[in-house]
A and B are shown apart, each in its own frame.
Chain A
């Protein structure tokens, strides 16, 4: 390694140590984000407040409501009539209402069967769907208990046996935490580098660099190497938290995880450098980094939202989002294992994108002033 490069790297490290905000991005940010997501975000609904309206209480209705009162998914609240229950639902006190009409007991076991009304608050449609599923589950239990009580065989012709692979308890943390590592690495790689390059331009220190004998390649490498190391430090912290604090299983190999992460980090750094070669002030660079890298990593990477369900044109866009490939690798490595069929194509895509971003940066950054 030549002296000019080591000098630049040394200077960058000093700057990192002296300005706490870079350290904050690399270490505090993963910490905060992981804690927030690990503890704050959960798609596992339990104790959903559910309103019960029983217009004519009887032994049958109390058998039925017992199924919901005892379920760990629901916390039940009784209302005298549907009007009150719906008002409580509008005010957000409960998420759904089950109504057993006046003639529930009479219609029960008639050929048409008794209608049970389920009113959902559809505003949060995901929760509404989940509640509908839980209500159905409790309803099936009741059917069986009711049949057993009357000493007859259950009337359900087809039973469903569900097997959920890789995450049998359906802990949402197990997929959120690995996905989040991709978001964090994007932030460290792209946002940080975009800002530090833009800062050099804004403060005029880039001009000072331009008149020195350093080549542009050395300037780029001088930025890449320190922030690569910083990013890997952030990764180590994130992985340690995932494994020991959130107890996410790591079923694949740690070495492949590190290699894939290094690859992704280079891609992210490439994006950051590319942004800063276009935007030479921090405000614009920061904006582009957030819009162009952070949000896509969040929304278009399959981290939370299923890519297959997006409109075709949005699906096409996701192909240039590096985080998409990294999320696929991470979720597979953590939950499934070393599935080469998933890892290799995604890693190949990352290599291509890294080459693209770094190539464009190299073309865009010349030693010249505007």
Chain B
């Protein structure tokens, strides 16, 4: 039995790697994605272009403006003299924010009154707008606190913020472990989803069915290449994450590989399921795509699952990516011990076994 499986596995590898473009496709795109994702996917804002419109005649506002200039989050583009210039600047996307200081700013502060500044932002991307407001808000608050302290009227309390597991709130630390999962899924799915479809399209699958191989043997022979390539891919991206992107790796390698192993069961299973339903490679590719996009979007890769409507949250329970991402981020950033990850690992195992079983059943019962 194992000899036959080995032969099929070798044949699968040969058909994947036989031409130069096929080989390149397995190595180059994931590498490009890792770099692009690693560098471009960030919710951090740097150098937000902004303008100042200050009607204040006093000196106090200068300190506030200096605080903005000193921040690497903001980049001063224009100083406006005229209110009517605000709207075109924002509409034409030349600035994301206008800081507006009223005529009585200094006078109010010096006489001990409460004054206000206006922050106008471009809400076309609401997440960016909210972050801009937060960034600007914290600068104004620091200024406000310092001013209050100087006037001897201290705040009754103050907040001391600490961020655990990611003290500097680096966006990259959040995304790069997710990319390990994303690329592992992508490559494994592409390899497996096309494997049966290609044989169907070329008519060799029927030949395979009349050989002495049992459906289980075919299944294992088709699953192994995807599995091995998946492990290789995950290892490569993990190494890149640690040594190139310098993301901390606090947990145990063994826990990580248990997670990868269980996740690959599902990825390979779903890939083979799609592949055995598909008649042509185009359908296989599309099927893989139709599975991967929701799997990534509903996994918490970029946006928290908690923000989704309740019914969509329930839907994510059958998504293997969801569990794998918790394992990855836990192992990388939190050093979460194996014991605490069991609630994520058993659903992965369950989904993996179920999808492989369905794929095996489809092999036997779907014939064209």
Chain A residues within CB distance 8 Å of chain B: 19, 21, 24-25, 29, 32-33, 36-37, 39-49, 64, 86, 89-92, 104, 107-109, 111-130, 132-133, 135-136, 139, 143, 146, 153-168, 170-172, 174-175, 195, 199, 279, 281-284, 286-288, 290-291, 295-296, 299-300, 302, 304-306, 308-311, 314, 328, 331-332, 335-337, 339, 341-342
Contacts and interface: CB of A to CB of B under 8 A. Distances in A.
Contacts of B133: 133, 162, 164
A153 B140 CA distance: 20
B124 A167 contact: yes
A118 B160 contact: yes
Contacts of B173: 122-123, 125
Given A157-B115, A308-B47, A39 B308 contact: yes
Interface in B122-148: 122-131, 133-134, 136-138, 140-141, 143-144, 147-148
Contacts of B88: 341
Interface of B: 21-22, 25, 29, 32-33, 36-37, 39-49, 64, 88, 90-93, 96, 109, 114-131, 133-134, 136-138, 140-141, 143-144, 147-148, 151, 153-167, 169-171, 173-174, 190, 194, 198, 280-283, 285-286, 289-290, 293-294, 297-298, 302-304, 306-309, 312, 326, 329, 333-334, 336, 340
B145 to A, nearest CB: 9
A171 B120 CA distance: 17
Nearest to A307: B40
Contacts of B162: 117-120
A337 B32 CA distance: 36
Given A90-B336, A143-B155, A287-B29, A117 B160 contact: yes
A166 B93 CA distance: 12
A116 B159 contact: yes
Contact of A122 (B92, B129, B165, B290): B165
Nearest to A48: B306
Contacts of B140: 158, 160
Given A118-B159, A295-B33, A156 B293 contact: no
B154 A284 contact: no
Contact of B166 (A24, A39, A125): A125
Contacts of B118: 160-163
Nearest to B337: A90
Nearest to B202: A202
A167 B165 contact: no
A287 B31 CA distance: 13
A167 B130 contact: no
A335 B237 CA distance: 39
B99 to A, nearest CB: 10
B144 A123 contact: no
A290 B33 CA distance: 11
B169 A304 contact: no
B129 A170 contact: yes
9 contacts: A42-B308, A86-B164, A115-B160, A157-B151, A175-B127, A286-B285, A290-B29, A305-B41, A332-B93
A118 B340 CA distance: 24
A104 to B, nearest CB: 8
Q: Top 4 nearest A-B pairs by Cβ distance?
A: A122-B166, A167-B123, A122-B163, A126-B43
Contact of B155 (A49, A153, A155): A155
Nearest to A147: B156
B297 A299 contact: no
Nearest to B43: A126
B286 A25 contact: yes
Given A122-B163, A155-B148, A157-B109, A146 B121 contact: no
A295 B334 contact: no
Contact of B161 (A120, A156, A310, A341): A120
Nearest to A346: B93
Contacts of B155: 113, 143, 155
Nearest to B61: A158
Nearest to B151: A157
A305 B43 contact: yes
Nearest to A300: B40
Contacts of B141: 136, 160
Given A118-B161, A126-B171, A305-B41, A174 B126 contact: yes
A334 to B, nearest CB: 8
A83 to B, nearest CB: 13
Contact of A113 (B117, B157, B306): B157
Contact of B36 (A123, A168, A295): A295
Contacts of B297: 36-37, 40-41
A156 B148 contact: yes
A127 to B, nearest CB: 6
A21 B197 CA distance: 14
B123 A126 contact: no
Given A295-B33, A328-B93, A309 B109 contact: no
A284 B160 CA distance: 53
Given A32-B294, A116-B160, A287-B29, A133 B137 contact: yes
Contact of B91 (A47, A109, A113, A342): A342
A291 B27 CA distance: 12
In this complex, which of A19, A175, A296 has the most chain B Cβ atoms within 10 angstroms of its Cβ? A175
A339 B174 contact: no
Contact of B40 (A42, A167, A291, A305): A305
A115 B169 contact: no
Given A158-B143, A282-B285, A283-B22, A136 B307 contact: no
Contacts of A296: 36
Contacts of A108: 156-157
A160 B137 contact: yes
A349 B128 CA distance: 24
A108 B92 CA distance: 48
A32 B290 CA distance: 9
Contacts of A314: 36, 39-40
Nearest to B44: A309
